Chain A
Amino acid sequence: EAQVTQNPRYLITVTGKKLTVTCSQNMNHEYMSWYRQDPGLGLRQIYYSMNVEVTDKGDVPEGYKVSRKEKRNFPLILESPSPNQTSLYFCASSFGSGSTDTQYFGPGTRLTVL
């Protein structure tokens, strides 16, 4: 089954404790992206990647890191989480084929930073 998986689905952590949210897709997609969603602010793009070793900043990259060492994986790293990073996070992927593209979203990771 074609899918984007995220782990963990729920996480409660404390300020400053490094964490990684994993994202994996099994569709051989070139493009992957991370978003955060907050009430009243909608979706905001954090980082995106067009291919292995190619990443770029979205609108809200501060406090986050990503890596794309393999095509299927695009982990989101919070090296020193803060309470303002409490949010719902979505990973998405697609072939990056322009007008005919279809983007697939993971189920989301709800992160709480205390």
Chain B
Amino acid sequence: QQPVQSPQAVILREGEDAVINCSSSKALYSVHWYRQKHGEAPVFLMILLKGGEQKGHEKISASFNEKKQQSSLYLTASQLSYSGTYFCGTSTWGYQKVTFGIGTKLQVIP
């Protein structure tokens, strides 16, 4: 079953923070996060495995709460380059078979 992402879209001014949520009705083994700019291939951001992981990548970090079956992606002090569509992907066993959310469109404006 497809994970649900929220919000569907968000507009930020440079320097503002954002949180994108990804939730599932099923018990999760892993959560994957990607960013895709218009007309380009997705770019892998990070993978989190069950066990309550939290990871950081520059000013982008994520947490995974397996009890709540949800993950959140945190973007702090947003930059124009953060604009794009963010997808979460989830797997219920292993991390190879992945089901994606519809995406969250994020636009950072000056």
Contact = CB atoms under 8 A, between A and B. Distances in A.
Interface of A: 31, 33, 40-45, 48, 50, 56, 58-59, 90, 92, 94, 96, 98-99, 101-108
Interface in B34-65: 34, 41-44, 47-49, 53
Given A90-B41, A92-B42, A106-B41, 14 more contacts: A33-B98, A42-B2, A42-B101, A43-B34, A45-B97, A45-B99, A98-B49, A99-B48, A99-B53, A101-B47, A102-B44, A103-B47, A104-B44, A108-B41
A43 B103 CA distance: 9
Contacts of B96: 31, 33, 48, 50, 56, 96
B89 interface: yes
Given A56-B96, A99-B53, A42 B48 contact: no
Given A99-B53, A101-B47, A43 B42 contact: yes
A42 B87 contact: yes
Contacts of A102: 44
B26 to A, nearest CB: 13
B102 A99 contact: no
A50 B97 CA distance: 10
Contacts of B2: 42
Interface string B76-92: 00000000000101000
B42 A105 contact: yes
A78 B19 CA distance: 39
12 contacts: A31-B96, A33-B98, A42-B100, A42-B101, A42-B102, A45-B98, A58-B98, A99-B49, A103-B32, A103-B44, A105-B41, A105-B44
